[in-house]
Amino acid sequence: MKSSAARAVPPGTPNEVRVGNLDNIDRAILARLQRDARMPNNAIAAEVGIAPSTCLARIRSLHTRGIIRGFYADVDPTATGRGLQALISVRIHSHARPELGQFRDYLASLPSVESIFFVSGDRDFLVHVAVADSAALRALVAENLSLRPEVAGTNTSVIFEYVRPDSRS
Amino acid sequence: MKSSAARAVPPGTPNEVRVGNLDNIDRAILARLQRDARMPNNAIAAEVGIAPSTCLARIRSLHTRGIIRGFYADVDPTATGRGLQALISVRIHSHARPELGQFRDYLASLPSVESIFFVSGDRDFLVHVAVADSAALRALVAENLSLRPEVAGTNTSVIFEYVRPDSRS
DNA sequence: GTTGAAAAACAGCGCTA
DNA sequence: TAGCGCTGTTTTTCAAC
């Protein structure tokens, strides 16, 4: 039989090339799901060259094993009235270091927070936020960050543009 | 009839509260899709209180209008052999500023690049990358960034932890 | 915006290699 | 054990209202 879709893997490639229990078919599935999480199981199966039932089982296994963390829609923040994005670097007082995890959870609970980077170097956290306008940004920094006892200082940069390379479904 | 799911919108809320042509039902749909892009259209429709076909039409409209930019799966970088994440701040030479967009496209084309922030302040770009190990990181910075004529300098911070608050599907 | 029916996709099961 | 085809069930899709 001849598949109508392009093969997932070049013919000569050995299938034992695995990283962390993933074979090439798994990787082919992941690549497609990363580009379009709503791609039908049928279509994925056809493209990677396995039966739909097998494909479904693999996807579920990937999800269960935590290799796929979740499926998300990428929503334009401007449309939801959060047209201003910023990166706020936050320094934490050295005596508050033990509660770093707690502070991260606090950050994650703020509705304006898009993502949090816990980084090495002179700053501790880099927080990506999306807010309505500069007044909201000021309020966020002043009230929700600077006032916190753990926070030694903040530094805010406005984001002119934010690009996620593989957002194209 | 009595809906088994919580209503999308509190009973008294006026539906004309819109931001950018979105009504409350649109916002309810977006909220669900942001948490779980694979949630069945049926279930979304039931939760926001409209018929499945209407819900589908709304979702498609949101996608067409660019309010939903795409649907993607969040894949654990560790599982795909990219266990090291970093934030690289890049300064661009002032004379190369006109080609900033071009450089951004170049960054987006690099397979290690997860996202790009084009920011105000002392640095121009902040690039979030995921690579296999420190050797790969060094190679990336040295060969793909520092060697570029537009690049005035780079500064690399290792990411110890990266959190996306609404990762929960 | 809704209803309802046709088409498609999903999810489970036993069989095969 | 992993993959496959088959089948009932759910979901999507598109018409008319």
Would you tell me how many other CB atoms lie within 10 Å of the CB of residue B161? 13
Question: C1' nearest to CA of B54: which nucleotide?
Answer: C1
Contact B35/A at CB under 8 A: yes
Q: Is A168 on the interface with B (CB under 8 A)?
A: yes
Q: What is the pLDDT of residue A19?
A: 53
Residues of chain A with pLDDT under 70: 1-20, 167-169
- The band of B51, judged by pLDDT with boundaries at 50, 70 and 90, is very high
pLDDT at B18: 47
Would you say residue B7 has pLDDT above 60? Answer: no
pLDDT digits 0-9 by tens, B72-104:
999 999 999 999 999 999 999 999 999 999 999
What pLDDT is recorded for position B15?
44
Question: pLDDT, tens digit, for every residue of B107-157?
Answer: 999 999 999 999 998 889 999 999 999 999 999 999 999 999 999 999 999
Integer Cα distance of B129 and A160 in angstroms? 19
Residue B51: nearest nucleotide (C-alpha to C1'): C2
Query: Which of A25, A65, A72 is the best mutation test for B, with the most CBs of B within 10 A?
Result: A72
pTM: 0.86
Produce one character per residue of B11-21: b if its CB has 16 or more CB atoms within 10 Å, e if not: eeeeeeeeeee
The C-alpha atoms of residue B69 and residue B71 are separated, in whole angstroms, by 7
A31-50 core/surface letters (b: 16 or more CB in 10 A; e: else): bbbbbbbbbeeeebbbbbeb
Indicate if the pLDDT at residue B29 is higher than 90.
yes
Q: Mutating which of B34, B71, B127, B155 best tests the A interface, going by the most A Cβ atoms within 10 A?
A: B71
Strand C contacted by B108 CB (< 7 A): no
How many helices and strands, by DSSP H and E, does chain A display? Answer: 5, 5
Looking at 3.30.70.920, 1.20.120.420, 2.30.30.140, 3.40.50.1950, the CATH number of the domain A77-159 comes to 3.30.70.920
Domain map (residue ranges) of chain A? 19-64, 77-159
**CB < 8 Å to B80, chain A:** 19-20, 22, 27, 30, 67
Q: What is the reported pLDDT for A165?
A: 87
Query: Which residue has its C-alpha nearest to nucleotide D2's C1'?
Result: A54
Q: Which residues in chain A (73-112) have CB-CB distances under 8 A to chain B?
A: 73-76, 78-81, 87, 104, 107-110
Token pair of A95, please? 């005596």
Residue B21 pLDDT class (50, 70, 90 cuts)? confident
Determine whether domain A19-64 maps to CATH 3.30.160.270.
no
A56 touches strand C (CB under 7 A): yes
Q: Which residues pair with A157 in a beta bridge?
A: A87
